[in-house]
Structure 1
């Protein structure tokens, strides 16, 4: 008891490492904080209140909230700041952003086998096109394309794209791009911002027994983060002062193109709605059929089968992408104690096992650019090792693939798998890396004999000059800026299939003015080579399948994990049937488009595919990009649960997970807003469970007396900040180290 009291007292009188010079100047608001801003020294060992690993939708808002509450926070990301690239700024360039080498991790994943078939049936195979004039631009010519998202590794290390692999080609997986940059995948996603169903939240409240998850309370987090730019400020259920700008594509922009207006009209007709007579090409007519708010609160929205304008995270004033990068930069510039350390790949969670329960006390990392094998620019370099330490907690926000991998490398996961790699088990959690889920998607592609007038001049920065880029950069209002102010996902429809067992729609169909058949290297250019293609992307909401896994490939943290979705393994026939019915709806809409400015011919899937043949086509062609659920929330008696209702990892103190991996099942239609909401919730939970920040004592000189020595020892003050091999024995160390004796050696080890 005496030791515990002494620890509490000395937590208020700790010394901090002096900061390195910062690139930014801050105001006086938090001038007493000694370390904040942009970390640049890989040898700078630091002690923080909280460490957040991953600056994506889960980690960034949480880190900002903790820092704004006065806590010293280290936000770590393996990527760099790519917010200055046009590809990440301009909404219409989001396909380019997802292939931007400087911020993409191109995972190789396995989709199948499923019963009765295997992944080699997927026609979207990918190989490298041979050199020679006869292959010039072959990757991007011809529809349907003979290329795809499966990659083969040739004996000489090259990749080869095409439907038939050459002799000696080794399959390495389907392409699955994720973001690695400040902001994470929010720097490359399509910016669709749709709130989850109320049942998603209520389900978590039920399984955890934690009523703070109920839908009404969770809505408040949406209101907190949203800066709604498309509704009047009097509208209930929206926020107007948050950090995330949310708008919609201007209807006046759509109305400039008769073909687009005709597509909206045909989509509305399929939903039983029609334009007002005489206003087919006017924004007022479009507003008539797109009047319902897709982010309106209430269960009626959840169950509504309708046509919608899709809310998007775009700042209508600037026309640029809005996301957590803005929140991070604002938090740093305003002087809050947030340190952002980029190009830092975390390899292990440091866990102290000397107490009654294991406790996370920091992280081990490698510093350097493009270290990870998933990066197209992977350097193959080992990086510079370093450590960082947390007084209070470590939060992992690495995403559905990296979070379970990091847990396992740190000794947290299925004991049998860890034993295969010689990793000592600290906590045997069977659910780590299990329950991997995704949504099935396919594209219904049509081609018009007349180009879209709105997109006809656009070169998407693949050619220069680009008239649409010049218009965007020279415009003042969203209309002045032209088509690049839209992400292309202007409208969508909800649809309930014949195999739906839920009152909520099980299919979402989004209209995309591009050729889109999934993800493969080069897809972003193939999508916009002409202005004649249009796609209805059919998305199966909440698939029945939860058979996917993320397992270790090796003990090398720079190796990608083995990612197997095992698509259609559970409930596959029903899910494929639902997608097939969505395809038929897309075909019907194309046929109903009024030929005001040219008509459409459906190219893929071909009309001759009907019935069971179409279902099998779905199983071969479907892709996904909403991976999640690999470290799910659950009750203590759930053998597959990894975290509790407060995001705490079972069996380890001081460790939480806040990202897309925590869902029991994937929420709603799109994941990003839901992740932002749980990030905000996690901040509230952690602040409610933490004493106040101790930053007010940062400038107190503890001296070399007994109190100062003891205080520095308990907190774990760093010796030799330029030496990454110096170990720190801190709060949970042995009694001898509580006297402030710092000994060189290794950091806390799971061994």
Structure 2
């Protein structure tokens, strides 16, 4: 058995931040446990490698949901990072903070200290924006955020022109003064290589004597003395080990694994735990509830002009761009899968954007749902338009499948279980058609491949949505932050209600889903949580 001041379970987007910041002053000993292995992998560091790690068991939990009625009984594939850096090591790298109103809503739900004015300093603290610092952006943080305009495909300009023809403003920075408009995305990358939280936060801290990192360490349950968390048991290469925490155990295992670990340890809905033969430490019904995720839909077009397909499909194209990447870290292999997009309002009267857009100058008709294997695109020229409602109202659940910690939990997304969500998806689908009909894009389109021109009525659009819509891989909310111990799981300082020495710091604590990709707000969360934890222990003894 070993003993530390803090034990962090999960070296993902939040856990790596915590490990760095809590070990920074040298006062505390930190144990960071990661179920996966090292991130020193070509396909992780090279942005185009997203398509390779998508189904790679060595770095990916590769979850499957339960059949979901909202999408026609289909099972969804949910990749999640099982590697140093967590999902920041296998995601599409889009850096989007969300809208200020998202965080003001968190505050107004009973979480003081989480409004936009409270979290903006932490967004700035974590970031080095390659455009430089300003009122909204950071200039000297560990996480490098890059502008990729120099290597963008020319068709991105046509997409932006199409948006302006629809009266959507051009926005040069979705993380600046306003999120609204169309433009290009920034990525978490530096020098053409992925900037995961393992690279940004752990690599600079790895040699600190007070930080110990254990990989291939699968947490099996938490240890308690009464209702105080005192440690963790974990399995490492077939051996069961135990570590004790003098001050706190911090769960940063993500929106799927954090509620699973809590329930395996006796914290969660009492009746459900007893049904699995698990002794209840604290009956908290909200554990695993309030699951939220973004659902999106792509429209696929055959083009009259060359797209990335013609550059990346032939063997000589792969060779040329591979050499270009190796020698100069330039070209399409240095980019993420989404190049342009935007945040827009689908109808008048909305106070803020309700739809996120994606544009990819590439197509792949034979790829599994959700996968974008850029190195194997279609033989013909094609491109994708995507739409994703930003703030879904449907709520799902994470539940135990069994008391075995190596059994994946049951994931019930309950997509499109509200009329509001279906209406937003319907408006998003129709918006893709409006984009395709603009002069800027219409001249480039030879044919609509999916869903196809025969889809015209609301009924046909809805049937297509249920048949084709898929996750955008942003699960949150399963250990929701809030003041009510019977509904919420952690308080505004991220402490588990009614349990001492235990916090949750990851996307599972989000009260509501933010308007956009979730990696940036999770990193912000880690930064703010570190300050909360250090503040709570300043001057404390023992």
Which segment is superposed worse, 51-60 or 517-526? 517-526
Tell me by how many angstroms 1:666 deviates.
0.7
| Alignment partner, residue 186 of structure 2 | 311
Q: Are 1:248 and 2:147 matched, yes or no?
A: yes
Q: Are 1:647 and 2:455 matched, yes or no?
A: no
Q: Are 1:552 and 2:400 matched, yes or no?
A: yes
| Alignment partner, residue 64 of structure 2 | 108
Tell me by how many angstroms 1:54 deviates.
0.5
Contact (CA 8 Å) 2:129, 2:139: kept in 1 or not? yes
| Residue 92 to residue 49, structure 1, CA distance change in 2 (3 Å) | same
| Alignment partner, residue 468 of structure 1 | 321
CA distance in 1, matches of 2:443, 2:336: 23
| Alignment partner, residue 156 of structure 1 | none
Contact (CA 8 Å) 2:168, 2:344: kept in 1 or not? no
| Alignment partner, residue 282 of structure 1 | none
CA distance in 2, matches of 1:521, 1:217: 35
Please list the CA deviations of residues 415-445 of structure 1 after superposition, one character each: whole Å capped at 9, or x if unmatched.
Answer: 1101101111110000001111111111111
Contact (CA 8 Å) 1:514, 1:531: kept in 2 or not? no
| Alignment partner, residue 456 of structure 1 | 310
- Structure 1 length-normalised TM: 0.68
Tell me by how many angstroms 1:412 deviates.
0.3
Tell me by how many angstroms 1:272 deviates.
4.9
Note the 1:138-537 alignment, pairs <5 A: 173-208=75-110, 210=112, 212-230=113-131, 232-233=132-133, 235-250=134-149, 252-254=150-152, 258-272=154-168, 289-290=170-171, 292-297=172-177, 301-302=178-179, 304=180, 306-315=181-190, 318-335=191-208, 337-353=210-226, 358-368=227-237, 383-452=238-307, 456-458=310-312, 466-475=319-328, 481-498=330-347, 502-515=350-363, 520=369, 524=373, 528-530=377-379, 532-537=381-386
Q: Are 1:76 and 2:33 matched, yes or no?
A: yes
| Alignment partner, residue 24 of structure 1 | none
Contact (CA 8 Å) 1:310, 1:490: kept in 2 or not? yes
Which segment is superposed worse, 337-346 or 199-208? 199-208
Please list the CA deviations of residues 110-166 of structure 1 after superposition, one character each: whole Å capped at 9, or x if unmatched.
Answer: 25224xx841xx5xxxxxxxxxxxxxxxxxxxxxxxxxxxxxxxxxxxxxxxxxxxx
CA distance in 2, matches of 1:47, 1:259: 56
| Alignment partner, residue 170 of structure 1 | none
3-state SS of the aligned residue for 1:247?
A: strand
| Residue 246 to residue 511, structure 1, CA distance change in 2 (3 Å) | same
| Residue 55 to residue 455, structure 1, CA distance change in 2 (3 Å) | same
| Residue 501 to residue 598, structure 1, CA distance change in 2 (3 Å) | closer
Count of paired positions = 538
| Alignment partner, residue 631 of structure 1 | 479
| Alignment partner, residue 433 of structure 2 | 587
Contact (CA 8 Å) 1:457, 1:466: kept in 2 or not? no
CA distance in 2, matches of 1:688, 1:413: 28
Unaligned residue ranges in structure 1 (runs of 5+):
1-44, 123-172, 274-288, 369-382, 695-714, 716-751
| Alignment partner, residue 19 of structure 2 | 63
Contact (CA 8 Å) 2:362, 2:382: kept in 1 or not? yes
| Alignment partner, residue 423 of structure 2 | 577
Q: Are 1:563 and 2:438 matched, yes or no?
A: no
Contact (CA 8 Å) 1:207, 1:634: kept in 2 or not? yes
Please list the CA deviations of residues 76-123 of structure 1 after superposition, one character each: whole Å capped at 9, or x if unmatched.
Answer: 1100012x3221112233222222332011111025224xx841xx5x
Please list the CA deviations of residues 179-223 of structure 1 after superposition, one character each: whole Å capped at 9, or x if unmatched.
Answer: 10000000111111111222222222233352x222112100011
Contact (CA 8 Å) 1:262, 1:593: kept in 2 or not? no
3-state SS of the aligned residue for 2:323?
A: helix
Please list the CA deviations of residues 475-513 of structure 1 after superposition, one character each: whole Å capped at 9, or x if unmatched.
Answer: 1xx6xx222222132221222234x88511111111012
| Residue 531 to residue 219, structure 1, CA distance change in 2 (3 Å) | farther
CA distance in 1, matches of 2:115, 2:209: 31
- Structure 2 length-normalised TM: 0.93
Contact (CA 8 Å) 2:481, 2:511: kept in 1 or not? yes
| Residue 111 to residue 692, structure 1, CA distance change in 2 (3 Å) | farther
3-state SS of the aligned residue for 2:230?
A: strand
Unaligned residue ranges in structure 2 (runs of 5+):
none
Tell me by how many angstroms 1:459 deviates.
5.2
CA distance in 2, matches of 1:175, 1:458: 26
Answer 1 or 2: which has greater strand percent: 2
Which has the higher Rg, Structure 1 or Structure 2? 1
Question: Cα RMSD between the aligned structures?
Answer: 2.5
Tell me by how many angstroms 1:361 deviates.
0.7
